[in-house]
Amino acid sequence: MMMICPGCNKAAMKVHHFHGEEVDNCRSCGGMWFENGELNGALSRADNGDDKVRVEETLGQQLGASARQCVQCECIMRRHFLMPGYEIEVDVCHQCSGVFIDEHERAKVVHSPLVKKHLADLNAKISAKTWIFQFLSQMPVEFSLKPASRPIMTYLLLALNILIFIGYGFDLNTTDTVFDNFAMRSSDLLAGHHPWSLVSHMFLHGDLLHLAGNMYFLYVVGDNLEDALGRAKFLGLYLLCGFAAAAAQIIADPSSSIPMVGASGAIAGLFGMYLIWFRHASLTFMFVIYQKKLSPLAFFGIWLVFNIIGLLMAGEGVAYWAHIGGFVAGLAIGAALKSKVMQDNPLLAMMNAPEVKIAR
């Protein structure tokens, strides 16, 4: 019996071998028809990390009637999302359980078991341990992809910042001497003094809380960014964001003689890149005792609002312009490099697809 493609309604479908299964393929539009069990079999043999796929039994939300007819039963098929959290539309016959997939959806369907595996981690519920940690530390908890490689450069930056602080941070006289020579002052730099402070200020911190906050956020976002970029490029962009942060502070207050120290500007740049490339991640936010998972866009949007409010209230002791400048630089770098980063990191690109929906 000749089967006409339900996708284009104009071409006969031909037998095609797809990951070990004989399926029907339209040579005109590229759509594929899977009889009952064939989609499970093909996906179980594909290289996607799961050899026991049961996607046909766990289809996602039904979206209503399709405009297409079943090639076998000639009844109207139903539209479904492929699975919960992965909103790829497929057409399903409720009588014979056949499934039709359009050509542009094929690669995404093949890798859907991998998406399902990572969604289980990303959609993990907030636990009592998570709540206690954030309540006591006031630091967020991250839900994101696990890096494929050990973040050596992130660890080295953490160690360097901590060791430098240990070297001066517990003696006031030593701290004053270090800040006099290595903290950044806008007026000094513009006068040609202490040019090395453009770099050295990024590795100094005012006190233990300042150090702990910066190092925690570096640890949270640094491992994923280093994994996506590679060690050398990660370090280069970290320093570049630090320079952008310093430039923003100098432009905003060129006559200032107040010493500026901290990795905050460089880390704010990492925030910007993280926001662009890791939309699937979640960071917990706590309001008094209520804890909620937020997208990077929402979390860093709140962070940015706090910095703008601090700037408008003329708060002293915090280099708000450096934070904002570093963040904007990170956003610009993230946008400029997004295509290359996604090309180099297929899993990251897959999880950034608009069809992937994160439960928060």
CB 204 within 8 A of CB 182: yes
> What is the enclosing helix (H) or strand (E) of 74?
none
**Distance, CA of 184 to CA of 187 (rounded, Å):** 9
At 192, list the tokens: 């040609």
**Distance, CA of 178 to CA of 254 (rounded, Å):** 22
At 360, list the tokens: 């928060």
CB 270 within 8 A of CB 278: no
Half-sphere exposure of 152 (CA within 13 A, CB side): 5
The pTM (predicted TM-score) of the whole model is: 0.90
**What is the model's pLDDT at position 317?**
72
Phi-psi region of 230 (alpha: psi -120 to 50; beta: other; left: phi over 0): left
**Distance, CA of 304 to CA of 165 (rounded, Å):** 27
Question: Between β-strands 99-101 and 32-34, what pairing exists: parallel, antiparallel or unpaired?
Answer: antiparallel
Q: Which residues of the chain have pLDDT under 70?
A: 1, 315-316
**Distance, CA of 22 to CA of 13 (rounded, Å):** 12
Q: What sign has the CA pseudo-torsion 276, 278, 279, 283?
A: negative
**What is the model's pLDDT at position 9?**
87
According to DSSP H, which parts of 207-319 are helical? 208-229, 231-252, 264-277, 296-312
The domains found in the chain, sorted by start residue, are: 13-120 (no CATH), 126-351 (1.20.1540.10)
Residue-wise pLDDT for 124-133, tens only, equals: 999 999 999 9
Bridge partners for 23 per DSSP: 16
**What is the model's pLDDT at position 318?**
84
How many CB atoms within 10 Å of residue 312? Answer: 9
**Distance, CA of 211 to CA of 201 (rounded, Å):** 13
How many CB atoms within 10 Å of residue 15? Answer: 9
